[in-house]
Structure 1
Amino acid sequence: MLSIGTVEERRAAARRLWPLFENYHVVTYFTPESRAAADGLGCRGGWMGYFAQRAAPFGEASPELVTATFYSFPPTMVHRALPDAWALADAETFLATRLAGVDGALRRLLGEDVLSGSVMAELAELGRAAATAAPITGRPLAAANASLPWPEQPHLALWHATTILRESRGDGHIATLVAAGLDPCEALVIYAADHEMTGEAMRGFRRWTEQQWQEAVDRLTERGLVDGGELTAAGRQVRAWCEERTDDGAILPWLAIGEDATLRFAELITPIARTLSAGNEAFRDNPMALHLVT
């Protein structure tokens, strides 16, 4: 049962809601339909389509802007995709392409009965109310997506809502990392040290070099946050501080719509998120994948 009474309950609720809407959003990039849609424009290797489609709300964004706002990717990785992607198609075309990929993925994974049902219509209304209340000040990706028109079909309106919600949360999380003095590579080292994955797997997924990764480990070790690949007590404290501040900002949309509406949203989207989590094999291969909270 979700409750948003005390500070601790609010943080727990924010964390509980996150994988529910994140599993709906990630069909944007991590499904065969989305990959095929981007490849159809001439994108190569998967990541070019990812960067262009996610950045498209900014317009034809520079690699420097994308490196800054996406945060965890090395500049060299972003520069391999941008600005070359904008020579294939403009931002408006990439926005239309990502929506087409989302539509195809949701139709396959959920089926027409779910997409056209009353539950989806109610979820779209609840999601829109929460997303409209999501903080965008100081949150560039959330603001850019919030400026886009709302799709008319309920399943796509819900997707747009989840996109704003996840980018608002993500922007807030980046702000905490900056405040904690964790640069992009250091943040991933901290993340890997606190999860069941090797640093090598995370390093390879984000394309940081061995030297860059080791230098980040060395810096964190010097600060007393990491020791032998494990988080120290101080490291756990810094990570907890970042997560708590992130949750404090992420709960604001749900406070705005109230506990009853929040509970209803969670109740309705949980089986849908569970279906997407089970069926989206492309995202399960992603080391950043979120496991659905049961």
Structure 2
Amino acid sequence: MTTETTPVTGADATGGEHRARRLWRALEPLHAVTYFAPEARAAGESLGLRGFFRGYFGQRAAPLGPVPAEVVTALFYNFAPGFVRRSVPGVWSVAAPAQLLDARLAAVDAALRRSLGELVGSAEVAEAAELAREAATSASTAGRALAAANAALPWPAAPHLVLWQAQTILREQRGDGHVAALVGAGIDPVEALVVFAGAQGLPGDWLRERRGWTVEEWEAARARLAGRGLVQPGSGSGEVADTVLTATGRELCAGIEDRTDELADEAWRALGDARADRLVELVGPLVERILAAGDFLRQNPMGMRPLVPVPSS
């Protein structure tokens, strides 16, 4: 779950949102092309993977090797187990992880070359890549399996791909820490989505369907959360009611987000505020191109809002 308006501790030097959250928002669209650019979908289909989620699970889990569904479910956290099993381990019989990694990198290369145009070989991209790589290699992967798996991959040569790989490591490192914060707060996978929907004001049906949970599983999670005083029943026109957080629920969400930011800040402490700010400055024009190309979902299940405004059309 992600709450952009929640007060945070450890705010950056500007006195605004936490430094780690600001950097995530600045850089995440560089990774999002992995799933949402047309080249990414075509890459999966070229290997025989039909449908968005078979390509998504295959390409995101490929750094782990041919792991079973239970491992993917555990690490991705908020997907329903049955939903994961529709793709894993079947994807490995269609395309080996090494094939998927090659296809992923080729698709990202093509997507970034298309969206960035003449900027792809610029000095600014090379400088951003150097800073992002330093941040990524400064972030601990202890206890963070997805980050560690991506950090173990060889670095590509082209600066725009170095920048993409660095952000891939950083966002998976952040995500691994977020899962740890959820587990520490006693929030299970489907409960995390229910409270997230309430924090973001997202339709429950929209989020539930994209993570594969049934109406019964969703409503059972809501009942558990209501029993803990974290949510109130709402009213909605879909199959599940909208979620309304209580004051206690909002406090819990704020604490989880604060902890997520704290756990993700190691890389940015190592880089320092001045160079982190320089990285934000450098990637701004790149992200503008990616957003203009439509390679990022305006409404996304992470509730992620880029630092650069998303074009209205």
Into which bin does the TM-score normalised by the smaller protein fall?
over 0.9
1:198 aligns with 203
Scaled by the length of structure 1, the TM-score of the pair is: 0.94
Cα distance between partner residues in 1 of 2:209 and 2:163: 33
Structure 1: 5+ residue stretches without partners: 1-5
Residue among 250, 269, 289 paired with 1:236: 250
* Structure 1 range deviating more: 281-290 or 146-155: 281-290
1:172 aligns with 177
Q: CA deviation at 1:285?
A: 5.4
Name the aligned partner's letter for residue 167 of structure 1: E
1:268 aligns with 282
Scaled by the length of structure 2, the TM-score of the pair is: 0.89
Q: Deviations over 1:22-48 (max 9, x none)?
A: 111011111111000011111011101
Q: CA deviation at 1:150?
A: 0.3
Q: Matches of residues 1-294 of structure 1 in structure 2 within 5 Å?
A: 7-9=10-12, 12-111=18-117, 113-228=118-233, 229-281=243-295, 283-284=297-298, 286-288=300-302, 290-294=304-308
Cα distance between partner residues in 2 of 1:288 and 1:239: 14
Q: CA deviation at 1:57?
A: 0.7
What is the Cα-based RMSD across aligned positions, in Å?
1.4
Q: Percent identity?
A: 49
How many residues are treated as equivalent by the alignment?
Answer: 288
Contact 1:197 1:287 in 2 (8 A): no
Structure 2: 5+ residue stretches without partners: 1-8, 234-242, 309-313
Partner SS, residue 18 of structure 2: helix
Q: CA deviation at 1:279?
A: 2.2
Contact 2:33 2:40 in 1 (8 A): yes
* Structure 1 range deviating more: 78-87 or 11-20: 11-20
Cα distance between partner residues in 1 of 2:196 and 2:82: 21
1 or 2, which has the higher helix percentage?
A: 1
Cα distance between partner residues in 1 of 2:172 and 2:60: 10
Q: CA deviation at 1:289?
A: 5.2
* Structure 1 range deviating more: 121-130 or 280-289: 280-289
Cα distance between partner residues in 2 of 1:259 and 1:125: 16
Contact 2:28 2:306 in 1 (8 A): no
Cα distance between partner residues in 2 of 1:270 and 1:116: 16
Contact 1:194 1:231 in 2 (8 A): yes
Cα distance between partner residues in 1 of 2:175 and 2:150: 13
